[in-house]
Amino acid sequence: MPSYTPPLRDMQFVMHEVLKVTDEYKAMPRHADVDADTINAILEEGGKFASEVTFPLNIGGDTEGCKLDKATHEVVTPTGFKEAYAKYVEGGWPALSCDPEYGGQGLPIVVNQAFYEMLNSANQAWTMYPGLSHGAYEALHAHGTEAQKKLYLPRLVSGEWTGTMCLTEPHCGTDLGLLRTRAEPQADGTYRLTGNKIFISAGEHDLAQNIVHLVLARLPDAPKGSKGVSLFVVPKFNVNADGSLGSRNGIFCGGLEHKMGIHGNATAQIVLDGAVGTLVGEPNKGLQAMFVMMNAARIGVGMQSLGLTEVAYQNALAYAKDRIQMRSLSGTKAKDKPADPIIVHPDVRKMLLTAKAYAEGGRALTMFCSLLIDRELHHPDAKVRKDAEELVALLTPIVKAFITDNGHIATNACMQVFGGHGFIKEWGMEQFVRDNRINMIYEGTNTVQSLDLLGRKVLGNQGATLKKFGKLVAQLVEEEGVNEKMAEFINPIAMLGDQMTKFTTEIGFKAFQNPDEVGAAAVDYLRVAGHLVFGYFWARMAQAALRQIDAGNPDPFYKAKLQTARFYFAKLFPETAMLMRTARAGAKVLLETDEALS
Ligand SMILES: Cc1cc2nc3c(=O)[nH]c(=O)nc-3n(C[C@H](O)[C@H](O)[C@H](O)COP(=O)(O)OP(=O)(O)OC[C@H]3O[C@@H](n4cnc5c(N)ncnc54)[C@H](O)[C@@H]3O)c2cc1C
């Protein structure tokens, strides 16, 4: 059976010693009073909730799955899920970072995201129920009318109701411009929606009284393609003006998908049969409105893989210390045992350190992104808000794709540490691998994320936002350029920063002649950019650790940080050289292959 310990110490290191979040909060009136003790106390309680309430349900949820009663269209979630959700609501957890105007606690996004990392380590499938509600809350908060906000937000904030995002249809996933669900305007200002959605996470369940579906559909006179898509809020139960539940709406679960992982989460086929909904935002501008939810969900998906990387690492580490097999090549290490623990073998260490470096690098990046969102929402200076918004937009596809790809590498490596036992269910490792696999696919596949990064966010504005991140790297290089102890961390990012500028210009030039060059280079490009970002955070973490060591702090935590940073730069970061080479191989080798693919 796997175990899970919330990584509170590392969270505190990133928040308070690297990012110094509370110093930043002093400039934000909403968060000026939030201190480190408060944050730490909340996360300690959050960690208990994750490890004691939802983690014990993870394996059961996987084996039991969700069940649909076809006659009533109701779904029963795995044993214990409902009770855990009730505790979550009772504890006020859904309200953590929500707006106090709607009953929220108004705490920073950093706190909420750190809590979600732990929930995802504990039980990704369960966490998706409240996770999607938070995205629905954000979309309605940003684009809902006052009436919609009054009706839906307080109950999403309290957790009494949950939310979904209904985009995908059988014939369209990536290309939402193809969607066919129709919305007919009614005399009373509402709309009747008809169509079929598939793959809707948390689309039906027994955890909450009502489900607030955010649905993309087309108005009768809508232009073709993505410019004719509108967003609607369609509740499972119609809501009366006083907020009480009315009649059952015409939105039903027609089936549940049988899938590779996240079995505890209901992936629903949703039938809209004249369901009553109201328009969110402007007609035909649904994708822009939905982007609020999609961006939140993309960061949320990165957090899912971060959570799985951490829990897989913890279990692989414990196993590697316990499992004895063969002797160390450099001579016996455990004389009292018939063989050495496998942690003595260099390649086992490589697998463990890969997962550790990706978990800790991912934690630093996602916390930084959360801090940027706090700035974007609450900083009094408009320029700071705008810069933060642009950086979040740049980093979002990296959080989504780089962290989920790393999660795939890390959970597989951790399973490998277990040898054959990793493949056997009772150890729980194969579930982490299976659960992680969807994170590379949904919320826009990782290929689509890389096209978003290179095509839209880098080449689309001539690298202007990338330069903003480049400035952060340059600042650190300037700060530490003369510090010999930091050279092993600073030199690689300084060099890659320079190479990236040339590399980006080169692809931009080729793309000018042939747009397929973007598609051919994008996936490799995102991974190189991911390493530049991770490299920057690993250098900052090494800087913070070195300062403590130089000041005589004997806490082995700092030594561990430096060792992991060294491993990261020596063994993982150098793949950037190979990736730039494969990206430079260009489109021809992929596209002039009709015979090969005939
Ligand atoms: C378990 C699960 C839960 C989900 N939850 C939700 C949910 O809650 N709400 C929701 O609306 N949807 C949900 N989805 C749907 C998910 O977001 C889509 O499956 C995903 O966006 C991909 O769409 P698709 O499956 O239609 O694949 P397609 O769009 O058909 O893509 C197939 C392949 O082609 C590639 N491709 C497509 N276009 C391009 C391009 N322009 N350039 C290069 N490559 C391209 C893709 O990367 C992919 O590899 C879920 C899916 C699953 C499996």
pLDDT (tens digit per residue) in 149-205: 999 999 999 999 999 999 999 999 999 999 999 999 999 999 999 999 999 999 999
Q: Is residue 263 classed as helix, strand or coil in its secondary structure?
A: coil
Q: Residue 164 CA: which ligand 1 atom is closest?
A: 8
Q: Is the pLDDT of residue 415 over 90?
A: yes
Rounded CA gap, 583 and 588, in Å? 12
Ligand 1: lining residues by beta carbon, under 6 Å: 165-168, 173-174, 199-201, 259, 267, 438, 441-445, 447-448, 451, 519
Nearest CA to ligand 1 atom 7: 200
With pLDDT > 70 as the criterion, what percentage of the chain qualifies?
100
Q: Is the pLDDT of residue 292 over 80?
A: no
User: Once rounded to an integer, what is the mean pLDDT over residues 72-97?
Assistant: 97
Q: Is the pLDDT of residue 224 over 90?
A: yes
Q: Is the pLDDT of residue 274 over 80?
A: yes
Full 3-state SS string of 222-261:
CCCHHHHEEEEEEECEEECCCCCEEEECCEEEEEECCCCC
> b or e along 8-43 (b: 16 or more beta carbons within 10 Å of the residue's beta carbon)?
eebbbbbbbbbbebbebbeebebbeebeeeebbebb
- The confidence score (pLDDT) of residue 104 equals 97
Give per-residue pLDDT as tens, 242-253.
999 999 999 999
**Pick the catalytic residue: 138, 310, 430, 443?**
443
Q: Residue 441 CA: which ligand 1 atom is closest?
A: 20
Cα-to-centroid distance, 448 and ligand 1 (Å): 9
Confidence of residue 24 (pLDDT cuts 50, 70, 90): very high
Nearest CA to ligand 1 atom 22: 173
- The confidence score (pLDDT) of residue 291 equals 80
Q: Is the pLDDT of residue 216 over 80?
A: yes
Q: Is the pLDDT of residue 222 over 90?
A: yes
Give the number of other Cβ atoms within 10 Å of residue 168's Cβ: 20
**Shortest CA distance to 402 belongs to which of 539, 540, 262, 528?**
528
Cα-to-centroid distance, 450 and ligand 1 (Å): 14
Cα-to-centroid distance, 439 and ligand 1 (Å): 11
Q: Is the pLDDT of residue 587 over 80?
A: yes
Q: What share of the chain is helix, strand, coil (3-state, %, to 5)?
A: 65, 15, 25
Q: Is the pLDDT of residue 293 over 80?
A: no
Q: Residue 166 CA: which ligand 1 atom is closest?
A: 11
Cα-to-centroid distance, 456 and ligand 1 (Å): 19
Nearest CA to ligand 1 atom 40: 448
User: Once rounded to an integer, what is the mean pLDDT over residues 302-317?
Assistant: 98
Give per-residue pLDDT as tens, 460-483.
988 888 999 999 999 999 999 899
With pLDDT > 90 as the criterion, what percentage of the chain qualifies?
97
Nearest CA to ligand 1 atom 6: 200
Cα-to-centroid distance, 16 and ligand 1 (Å): 38
Cα-to-centroid distance, 503 and ligand 1 (Å): 29
**Shortest CA distance to 125 belongs to which of 260, 259, 265, 258?**
265
Give per-residue pLDDT as tens, 477-504.
999 989 999 999 999 999 999 999 999 9
Mean pLDDT of the chain, nearest integer: 97
Q: Residue 132 CA: which ligand 1 atom is closest?
A: 8
User: Once rounded to an integer, what is the mean pLDDT over residues 404-408?
Assistant: 98
Confidence of residue 316 (pLDDT cuts 50, 70, 90): very high
Rounded CA gap, 32 and 199, in Å? 41
Yes or no: say if 39 and 13 are a contact pair by the CB < 8 Å rule. Answer: no
Nearest CA to ligand 1 atom 46: 445
Q: How many Cα atoms within 13 Å fall on the side-chain side of residue 441?
A: 10
Q: Residue 259 CA: which ligand 1 atom is closest?
A: 1
User: Once rounded to an integer, what is the mean pLDDT over residues 39-58?
Assistant: 98
Nearest CA to ligand 1 atom 37: 174
- The confidence score (pLDDT) of residue 297 equals 85
Q: Is residue 554 classed as helix, strand or coil in its secondary structure?
A: coil
- The confidence score (pLDDT) of residue 463 equals 87
Rounded CA gap, 23 and 1, in Å? 41
Sequence-distant (6+) residues with CB within 8 A of 477 are 490, 493, 494, 497
Identify which of 127, 178, 199 to mutate to test ligand 1's pocket (most ligand atoms within 8 A of the CB).
199
Q: Is the pLDDT of residue 394 over 80?
A: yes
Q: Are strands 74-76 and 161-166 parallel, antiparallel or unpaired?
A: unpaired
Confidence of residue 289 (pLDDT cuts 50, 70, 90): confident
User: Once rounded to an integer, what is the mean pLDDT over residues 366-374?
Assistant: 96
Q: Would residue 443 show up in a list of annotated catalytic residues for this protein? A: yes
How far is C-alpha 346 from the chain's CA centre? 31
Rounded CA gap, 138 and 60, in Å? 31
Give per-residue pLDDT as tens, 111-143.
999 999 999 999 999 999 999 998 899 999 999
